[in-house]
A and B are shown apart, each in its own frame.
Chain A
Amino acid sequence: MTRMLPMKRLLIAFCALLLSPALAAQDSMPPAPYAYRQLDNPEQEAKAQALMETLRCLKCQSQSIADSDAPMAGDMRHQVRTRIAAGEDPESIRQWLIERYGDYVSYTPQVKPITWPLFAAPFAFLALAALLLRGRFRKKDQS
């Protein structure tokens, strides 16, 4: 949500360096090239944008990497854009990021035993609604 102080930014860059050898090459102080640059191919950019909107910026509160000024979000945008440009499938990029940062990074909940109640919820509510509405009107028919 807020931009970081220089000290904090250094720290994050440092952590990112440790965490991800793949990122190390681009992760110096200036933002990675594709952090603030769109892909030239509009179709690929649209794909990248759609994916970025569903990835959480790990250093912010409740923002996707598509809406954040945090350096880490910039680095992740760069990763997403270069990988999309290289022809990688958005879902495989998501899986790659999940492997790296855990399920927390994806705003799209993954279907796993721990999340099944999330996916059952709409059906449960629909069933409950149907029950409520049916009960309501059946009673009336009898009277």
Chain B
Amino acid sequence: MIAELGLAVLWMAAALAVLQLVAGILALRPEGRQVAGLVRPVAVMQGVLVAGALVALITLFLTTDLSVKLVAENSHSMKPFIFKLAGTWGNHEGSMLLWVAIMAVAGGFVALVEKRLPENTLIATLAGQAFVSLGFYAFLLLASNPFQRLPEPAPEGAGLNPLLQDIGLAFHPPTLYVGYVGLSIAFSFAVGALVTRDVGPAFARAMRPWVLGAWIFLTLGITAGSYWAYYTLGWGGWWFWDPVENASLMPWLAATALLHSCSVLASRNALKAWTVMLGVIAFSMSMVGTFLVRSGILTSVHAFAVDPERGSFILALLAIYIGGALTLFALRASTVTEGARFSFVSREAALVFNNVMLCGILGIVLVGTLYPLLTEAMGVKVSVGPPYFNPVSAVFAIPMMLVMGVGPLLRWRQDSFEGKGAGRITLPVGVCALLSAAVLLGVELLAPQIKLLPALGLAIAAGLAPASFLPLRGRNLRRTPLATWGMVFGHFGIAVALFGMASESAFSTERLAAMRPGDVQQVGPYAVKLEGIGPVAGPNWTALEGTVSASYAGAAPSILRPQARTFSNPPGNRTESALKTRWNGQLYAVLGEEGDDGRWQMRFWWKPFVPMIWYGGALIALGGLLALLGRVAADVRRLVATGKIAYRRERQGR
């Protein structure tokens, strides 16, 4: 019953999306004015209905209704509650339903609260949003129905991949999806603004919170995903340039660029066409990411060709939306003026430079991810991995981070590094640059074995960290706007994360050893002793657990318990690494297999300052959150003030 209800509600929501699109298009013509009032309520109702469909699917998963195909294939009655819940979106159909649900709810929210935009632009935006949703409704209802029943209820479910039975991963997909969908709203705003030829600061202000929100979630999603890979895969790697990772990184890069150009448009009325273009690119990257992950093309181009229905469907959606938006852009770009001018040395120029560099990195990641698929289609299998991505993206990232230290100090429109008053920039920036140079020199002299990229990373992080606080110099800290604090924290977070990455790559020590209980090994500053091995059991797994006592430079030992877990439904293994975090790094311990001679394969790493990578990510997200709060608070204040003025006018009888 619940499954049928869910499906019915989903069809109704799809029908409302059609209505929203048609009414939106009609309302933009002079003769269709009457239906304009329809668009907002329909958008809200559509959001409510899809949310209902999602709740229905969640209920099916929580009650493990095995007559539903999706549940039987992906869940199991013995799974812990949280993974039953996460199982809802841990599969293809469920994740697509989650996608449309978030999208429709967000669309409904826009319809409910957005008051700044001219009504026409908003209606065009909602129509655009409905148009995008429709593709996904079609995809869900025609090619991947999540509510399909089995002819006979299954006796038991197939379970969830053990690797995915992790609390980190339970919330990783929804986080990323919120990010992707936030960008779909930005895309709809861009389309709306193009349709009504109304690209200006009001449009940028309306779009900015959505971009910021999406960006925060993407940042968190990528950070959490990276940490999850780090501690579950059991080899201490935290970023693999895996196509799935790249799929989440590309929208983030585009969103970062969009965020910055949005600020320029909002405060300076410049970079109009560029901002709209980035809005289109950002959502395109979300779609490309979904396509890569959901079509099965990644396992093999041939796997895609075997079951091409879903992949072709997403590919067609990609072509329609991106192609359509680009065509619209090409038609309307000439009517969108470039906006206000600025000189070569100005904050706008620094932002443009960084935007272009971000797009450069984006291009590299895109080419590096798609190129192997292309050659495979031509019959040649090649791999593109870290040895390509790291140095080539650094070509763009390094100049970008250098400009990042100076950009926020520059004045809008026009500035100068010469003459009176230039000391306010050149002095502190010079100090930071000297710091960087000193660190680079020190690394090269004292530790010449460290490779070039980590050395550069350490040096840039050392200069960028203090430089990111320079915008606060000479300001009254209590009156500094939240958005400025957000920028400071965001930039500082980049420096912190960069330091963690460089340090991990430059200073990690690895120790692989076959150990008997009682054996001691040295890894970096730690002496690790294998105390014993014993069995333990969890709700749906059994494991061997090693007890390792680790003492840092002779201090009292602490106990680590790495596990090798065995899952039964479905069968599979997973290593559960044990971590000991100190302020200056992390000890990473993994229990491997037992050898013939009764010794255990143990793996240890000492990774100095590696947690900085994720602290940095969290700081970046915090920066985004502060900026979002600052912007929203300012908007609310403005709304309240407008309301008061209107009220007074009314009372005075004007």
Q: Which residues of A contact B (CB under 8 A)?
A: 1-3, 5, 30-31, 36-38, 46, 49, 53-54, 56, 61-64, 66-69, 102-110, 114-115, 117-118, 121-122, 125-126, 129, 132-133, 136-137, 139-140, 143
B384 touches A109 (CB 8 A): yes
Q: Please provide the 9 A-B residue pairs with the shortest distance between their CB atoms, ordered closest to farther.
A: A107-B385, A67-B235, A62-B242, A108-B387, A104-B381, A3-B573, A121-B367, A36-B601, A129-B356
Interfacial chain A residues near B367, Cβ < 8 Å? 117-118, 121
Residues of B within 8 A of A126 (CB): 360, 395
Contacts of A108 on B, CB cut-off 8 Å? 385, 387-388
20 contacts between A and B (CB under 8 A): A1-B163, A31-B593, A36-B514, A36-B601, A37-B512, A37-B513, A38-B510, A62-B244, A104-B381, A107-B385, A109-B382, A109-B383, A114-B378, A114-B382, A117-B367, A121-B368, A126-B395, A129-B356, A133-B356, A140-B344
Residue numbers in A under 8 Å from B573 (CB-CB): 2-3
Across-interface contacts of B601 in A (CB, < 8 A): 31, 36
Contact of B311 with A by CB under 8 A = no
Return the contact of B343 from the options A36, A110, A140 (Cβ within 8 A): A140
Shortest Cβ gap from B654 to chain A (Å): 43
A1 to B242, CA, bound (A): 12
Tell me how far the C-beta of B629 lies from the nearest C-beta in chain A, rounded to whole angstroms. Answer: 33
B402 within 8 A of A: no
Minimum CB–CB distance for B224 against chain A, Å? 18
Check B384 against A107 for contact (C-beta < 8 Å): yes
- Once the chains bind, are A140 and B342 in contact (CB under 8 Å)? yes
**Is B337 an interface residue, CB under 8 A from the partner?**
no
Residue of B233, B338, B571, B592 touching A63 (CB-CB under 8 A): B233
- B236 proximity list for chain A (CB < 8 A): 67
Report Cα–Cα, A133/B596, bound state, in Å: 64
Question: Does B341 lie within 8 Å of A2, measured CB to CB?
Answer: no
Tell me if B335 is interfacial: C-beta within 8 Å of chain A.
no
Contacts of B341 in A (CB 8 A): 140, 143
Contact B383 A105 (CB under 8 A): yes
> Please, what's the 1-or-0 string for B290-314, where 1 marks a CB less than 8 Å from any CB in chain A?
0000000011000000000000000
* 5 more CB-based (< 8 A) A-B contacts, given A66-B235, A103-B381, A109-B384: A2-B161, A67-B235, A103-B380, A114-B378, A126-B360
Q: Is B468 an interface residue (CB 8 A)?
A: no
Which residues of chain B are near A67, meaning CB under 8 Å?
233, 235-237, 240
The residues of A that contact B380 with a CB separation of less than 8 Å are: 103, 114
Please tell me if B410 contacts chain A, counting CB pairs below 8 Å. no
Cross-chain contact A56 with B395 (CB below 8 angstroms): no
Q: Which of B240, B299, B449, B510 contacts A49 (CB 8 A)?
A: B510
Q: Is B344 touching A137 in the complex (CB atoms < 8 A)? A: yes
Contact of A136 among B352, B368, B375 (CB under 8 A): B352
Interface flags, B206-247, vs A, CB<8A=1, else 0: 000000000000000000000000000111110011111000
B363 within 8 A of A: yes
A contact residues around B234 at 8 Å (CB): 69
* Alpha-carbon gap, A79 to B270, bound state (A): 58
Which of the residues B235, B511, B593 comes within 8 Å of A68, measured between beta carbons? Answer: B235
Contact residues in B for A105 (Cβ distance below 8 Å): 383
Q: Given A36-B512, A114-B375, A129-B360: A103 and B235 within 8 A (CB)?
A: no
Query: By the criterion of a CB under 8 Å from any partner CB, how many residues of chain B are at the interface?
Result: 63
* A28 vs B584: C-alpha distance when bound (angstroms): 42
- Alpha-carbon distance A143/B340, docked complex (angstroms): 12
A29-B513 Cα distance, complex, nearest whole Å: 19
Instruction: Identify which of A64, A118, A136 contacts B384 (C-beta below 8 A).
Output: A118
Query: What residue in chain B is nearest A133 (Cβ atoms)?
Result: B356
Chain A nearest CB from B450 CB (Å) reads: 11
Closest to A36 in B: B601
For residue A36, which residues in chain B have a CB less than 8 angstroms away from its CB?
512, 514, 592, 601, 603
Cross-chain contact A125 with B381 (CB below 8 angstroms)? no
B109 at the interface (CB under 8 A from A): no
**Alpha-carbon distance between A105 and B514 when the two chains are bound, in angstroms:** 28
- B396: which of A38, A49, A110, A125 is its contact (CB, 8 Å)? A125
Instruction: Say how far A72's CB is from chain B's closest CB, in angstroms.
Output: 15
Quote the shortest CB–CB distance from A100 to chain B (angstroms): 14
Measured between alpha carbons, how far is A137 from B384 in the docked complex, in Å? Answer: 36
Q: How far is the CA of A125 from the CA of B396 in the complex (A)?
A: 10
Instruction: Say yes or no: B595 contacts A63, CB within 8 Å.
Output: no
Chain B residues, CB < 8 A from A63: 233, 235, 237, 240
A9 to B275, CA, bound (A): 52
B514–A37 contact, CB under 8 A?
A: yes
Q: Which residues of A contact B360 (CB under 8 A)?
A: 122, 125-126, 129
Q: Is the CB of B343 within 8 A of A64?
A: no
B392 touches A122 (CB 8 A): yes
* B37, CB-defined interface residue at 8 Å: no
* Smallest CB separation, A52 vs chain B (Å): 11
B575 beta carbon closer than 8 Å to chain A: yes
Judged by a CB distance under 8 angstroms, whether B437 is at the interface is: no
Is the C-beta of B371 less than 8 angstroms from some C-beta in chain A? yes
Contact check, A1 vs B385: say whether CB atoms are below 8 A apart: no
- Taking the closest CB of chain A, its distance from the CB of B653, in whole angstroms, is 48
Interchain CA distance A136-B388 in the complex, whole Å: 30
The verdict on B572 contacting chain A, using a C-beta distance below 8 Å, is yes
Does B385 contact A56, Cβ atoms closer than 8 Å?
yes
- Closest chain B residue to A49, Cβ basis: B510
Interface hub of B236, B360, B572 (most chain A Cβ within 10 A): B360
The CA-CA distance from A72 to B162 in the complex, in Å, is 22
Cα separation A2 to B356 with both chains bound (whole Å) = 39
The interface residues of chain A lying within 8 Å CB-to-CB of B364 are: 121-122, 125
- A-chain residues with CB within 8 Å of residue B384 when the two chains form the complex: 107, 109, 118
Taking the closest CB of chain A, its distance from the CB of B226, in whole angstroms, is 14
Closest to B389 in A: A107
B309 to chain A, nearest CB (A): 22
B381 near A121 (CB under 8 angstroms)?
Answer: no
Known: A1-B233, A137-B344. A129 touches B299 (CB 8 A): no
Write out the residue numbers on chain A whose beta carbons fall within 8 Å of the beta carbon of B375: 114-115
